[in-house]
Amino acid sequence: MRMLRWLILSSAMILVITSATAQTFDPRSPVCLQKWEWGGSTYFECAYTTWDQCRVAAIGLAAMCLENPYWRRPQPRLSGGRLRPSAPY
């Protein structure tokens, strides 16, 4: 009987626990604001197009600005209209 009680309790706990969602970086913005929150967690807000916008938003917060590692840089075009690879193979 005691084992059945623990089995029901553990099953209920597993059903109640929700899965964590992974945070993604917005590839449209080149600058991100990393905020530190209470308890040691961090949060990234990638919604800034310039460093100055990010710095103004970080004033008074436990935060810092950094380059978005997933930002899609504009690709340079050759005169023939073909894309040039950004890195040699």
The reply to whether 79 falls in a domain is no
Ranges of H-type helices in the chain = 2-16, 51-58
Helix or strand or coil: residue 39? coil
Structural domain including 52 reads 24-72
Give the model's pLDDT for residue 74: 72
In a domain, 48, yes or no: yes
Q: Looking at residues 38-61, what average pLDDT do you find?
A: 90
- On average, the pLDDT of the chain sits at 78
In angstroms, rounded to a whole number, what is the distance separating the alpha carbons of residues 31 and 54? 7
Q: Does residue 14 fall inside a structural domain?
A: no
11 assigned to some structural domain = no
In this prediction, residue 7 has a pLDDT band, given cuts at 50, 70 and 90, of confident
* Structural domain contains residue 33: yes
Number of structural domains (the chain) is: 1
15 found inside a domain: no
Residues 6-18 have a mean pLDDT of 71
